[in-house]
Amino acid sequence: LDIDDFTAIGITFGETFCNQLIIRLHEQLRAALTENTLIARIDRDALAILVGDDKPLDNLFFEHFLNQPLQIADGEHSISATVAVVDLQSLADLQAEQILRLAESMIETARHKKQHYTFYDTRLEHEIANRYSLLSELRSAVTQKKLYVELQPKVRLADGKLVGFEALARWQKANGQMIPPSQFIPLAETSGLIVKLDQLILQQTCQAIHTLQAAGINVPVAFNVSSFELLRPDYFSTL
């Protein structure tokens, strides 16, 4: 179980609040599940839950559970989380560390699809493999500065005058295939690559502005920035 937007929660309320949130979440899970359930905090924003066969978990359980607010300090707080459920009997040949990594991959895939619950089946293996292959290519493309900017003109309809541009990130793979932003931007956000990608596109946007000014074209150029970037304390000083 991975809490959504945990970094934003930490920035807003502080680390002490985040730890209290985890404690209250653990207590409510403990109360809702059987005594032989094991619950462990495996990351800053994630819990691993080992449940016996006598208490199978489904999306209805998590929907009911996550709809219950947590009592923290002097108020009630609702959270959003993404949950990956795996049947250990079907993965008996994997080590515990491998199963945890698989669950993390399932959570990333679920978030990419805007889903809050995902249950393991063999079809996920191919999907996860493709996702990680694309992520590896994206990391390489960002490092080698293979992504580029296209400027989309903004035209005033009343008189057809050019009033600005919007800088749009584009990625064309070596084989000529264009990967749409709707595919690689969410991938960059869930993997933490979005910071480097945004910085690359911002640099290229600034270069494009200089080129336009040198040509005598002095109009504003809009730049799309991820909400992940806006939450960084040092973003505006970097900008």
Average pLDDT over residues 143-148: 95
Q: What percent of the chain has pLDDT above 70?
A: 95
Average pLDDT over residues 96-107: 84
**pLDDT surpassing 90 at residue 123:** no
Whether residue 100 contacts residue 48, with contact meaning beta carbons closer than 8 Å, is answered with yes
Average pLDDT over residues 131-147: 91
For the chain, give every residue range classified as CATH 3.20.20.450: 133-238
Average pLDDT over residues 168-195: 90
The pLDDT score that the predictor gives to residue 54 is 60
Separation CA 206–CA 204 (nearest Å):
5
- According to CATH, the topology of domain 133-238 is TIM Barrel (3.20.20)
The pLDDT score that the predictor gives to residue 200 is 94
Residue 30: pLDDT band by 50, 70, 90 thresholds?
A: confident
Separation CA 137–CA 129 (nearest Å):
12
pTM for this prediction: 0.57
The pLDDT score that the predictor gives to residue 213 is 96
**pLDDT surpassing 80 at residue 70:** yes
The pLDDT score that the predictor gives to residue 55 is 60
- Backbone angles phi and psi of 40, in degrees to 5: -135, 140
For the chain, give every residue range classified as CATH 3.30.70.270: 2-121
Average pLDDT over residues 59-66: 74
The pLDDT score that the predictor gives to residue 127 is 72
The pLDDT score that the predictor gives to residue 217 is 95
The pLDDT score that the predictor gives to residue 206 is 95
The structure tokens listed for 93 are 């040949």
Separation CA 109–CA 113 (nearest Å):
6
**pLDDT surpassing 70 at residue 6:** yes
The pLDDT score that the predictor gives to residue 12 is 86
Please name the residues in contact with 144: beta carbons below 8 A apart, sequence gap of 6 or more: none
User: What is the second-level CATH architecture of the domain 2-121?
Assistant: 2-Layer Sandwich (3.30)
Average pLDDT over residues 51-78: 76
The pLDDT score that the predictor gives to residue 131 is 79
Please name the residues in contact with 110: beta carbons below 8 A apart, sequence gap of 6 or more: 82, 84, 116, 117, 118
Tell me if residue 186 falls in helix, strand or coil: helix
